[in-house]
Amino acid sequence: MKDKVTAALLAFFLGGFGVHRFYLGQTGLGFLYLIFCWTLVPAFIAFIDFIVFLTMSKESFDMKYNRTYIPNQVINNYIPTPPHQQSNVASEIERLHGLMEKGVITQAEFEEAKRKML
């Protein structure tokens, strides 16, 4: 699991060479930093990355860089949405039928949409 402080320190001290991008698993960007390190542009961008990493919340850092380590959260208070009301389904079928008559959708698309609604 990647740590945002470690990423920030790598960006500050070795960011010109893209080490922080390799650490975060972004090898393509890491190679770009490495190729252009002689221009000092990656060092400037790495300093901006350093500031971004320090100001980023732990939750947003984890969502962006540790997505594979975050378990799926179980929602205990799940309340299913009520089923479609009959009037909404009927008006939607009428709208789709009008689209089919105008040639916007095909007969097969109309039948498939109608089947899903019913």
| CA–CA separation, 74 and 7 (whole Å) | 29
pLDDT, one tens digit per residue, over 76-118 is 555 555 555 556 778 888 888 888 888 888 888 888 888 887 7
Residue 13 confidence (pLDDT):
96
Per-residue burial over 11-31, b = 16 or more CB atoms within 10 Å of its CB, e = otherwise: bbebbbbbbbbbbbeeeebbe
Residue 102 confidence (pLDDT):
84
Q: What mean pLDDT, rounded, does the chain reach?
A: 85
Distance of CA 13 to the CA centre of its chain: 29
| Rg of the chain in Å (alpha carbons) | 26
**Between 94 and 21, where is the model more confident?**
21
pTM: 0.59
pLDDT, one tens digit per residue, over 36-68 is 999 999 999 999 999 999 999 998 898 889 877
